Amino acid sequence: MGRDAHGKRALYSGVRPPGPPGPRGTSLAVTCSRCGRTSTIGLRRALWVLMPSVHLPLPLGHPSLLRCPACGRPSWVRLTLRSHP
């Protein structure tokens, strides 16, 4: 029993990297081509915003059509994922 617990503790302290677990520090930046503003939103709100959305296979410009969080209208936007460690 005692040996088992010690082994587990050693494994966790050795392998786990420091920092908060999960995707908590990730947000989505939405740059709107209509109003020109960039909105940074959390992942939960991003899911809501992205619900009806269209994405074109273009690497440049504003390839995604969705409801802009800043002006609230369907707009062509550029999406950028940001993570805050």
Could you list the residues that contact Zn ion (CB under 5 A)?
Answer: 32, 34-35, 68, 70-71, 75
Rounded to a whole number of angstroms, the minimum distance from the CB of residue 68 to Zn ion is 3
Task: Rank residues 8 and 48 by Cβ distance to Zn ion and give the closer one.
Answer: 48
Quick check: 69 and 41 in contact, CB under 8 A? yes
Rounded to a whole number of angstroms, the minimum distance from the CB of residue 22 to Zn ion is 30
Task: Rank residues 32 and 66 by Cβ distance to Zn ion and give the closer one.
Answer: 32
Q: How far is CA 50 from CA 10, 31, 66, 68, 83, in A?
A: 42, 14, 6, 9, 18
